[in-house]
Amino acid sequence: MKENRAKYYREKMNQLEGQLLPENRQYFDDLRSYMIFSSLLYDEGEINEQIYVLANDLLAAQADRITAVEFFGNEPKQMADELISNMPKSTWKERGQLVLIAFGILWGIKLISDFGRTGTVMINPLSYLFDVLLAGIALTLIFLIAQKSVYAGNAWISKKNSQIILMITVFIIFVTGSVSGSFLIPDLWPIVISYPFDLAITLLICVFAGGLILFHKMTEFYPALFVLFTFALNGGIQRYAVAHQQESTPLFMVLPIVIVLAAFVLYLIWNRRIIKNKSNF
């Protein structure tokens, strides 16, 4: 119910934003971005409803030839902070569900990545816990970059390209740390999963994760699901090749690379379509 409410107001906001004049739209877009990235621990439905009310008020003021700066003032950040402070926070249950979903997908991708290697699957629990720590730090940094860049006094960080560079840097650090941890963290309590149980577990993860995300229409997790399925497909091919002693044949050496490249191209096309659809609101 809460997810539907948040989505309802988000769609309404997109419709109203398209009716704003360019100068008012930029003001509102900054205000909206700041409020969304500053309200991670707050009720999403309440935040979206409040932003929708602001959009309605601004549209009415625009009809009277009043600009966003004249209507809301020159301190949008201060106004947003005051509004957010009066909003109800999300429940611990909702936060817990979001954390479990995020970490579940992270572990699922890591498990299927381990599954994609040749040989017996060996899970290092300490490495998985280390990835959770890294992911928490990376997500916090990304939200801070997105939030601070809206009303930043620094001209460089206010640029979209600069924000993208910073976020890519955070992502590279996360991937580098995760890969390094896989090699450097000792296997104190390894968990061994032999064939064909590893195949069954991977299939269950894909079905469960895909069903959960698609059923609840968690669009923010679609990219992670795409990565999950790509790793799973490659892992299945590797397992088949090992089971039939064909891992050294040209077909099974080239096929995983082709799949990754094809998946990357499809991912770029998919993202471009999403951005294009959003820009049409």
Task: Give pLDDT tens digits for 204-247.
Answer: 877 887 887 777 776 666 776 777 777 777 777 777 777 777 76
Q: Are 86 and 46 in contact (CB under 8 A)?
A: no
Residue 3 pLDDT > 70: no
Q: What whole-number distance in Å separates Cα of residue 180 and Cα of residue 26?
A: 42
Terminal alpha carbon distance of the chain: 24
Residue 190 within any structural domain of the chain: no
Residue 156 within any structural domain of the chain: no
Number of domains forming the structure of the chain: 1
Summarize pLDDT for 46-64 with one digit per residue, the tens: 888 888 999 999 999 999 9
Residue 277 within any structural domain of the chain: no
0.85 exceeded by pTM: no
Other CB atoms within 10 A of residue 13 CB: 21
Residue 175 within any structural domain of the chain: no
Residue 81 within any structural domain of the chain: yes
- 3-class secondary structure, 140: helix
pLDDT band at 198; cut points 50, 70, 90: confident
| Tokens at 9, concatenated | 């107001």
Print the domain residue range for 38. Answer: 2-85
- 3-class secondary structure, 118: coil
Residue 74 within any structural domain of the chain: yes
Q: Provide mean pLDDT across the span 187-191.
A: 83
Residue 146 within any structural domain of the chain: no
Residue 183 within any structural domain of the chain: no
Cα 266 versus chain centre, distance? 18
Residue 279 pLDDT > 50: no
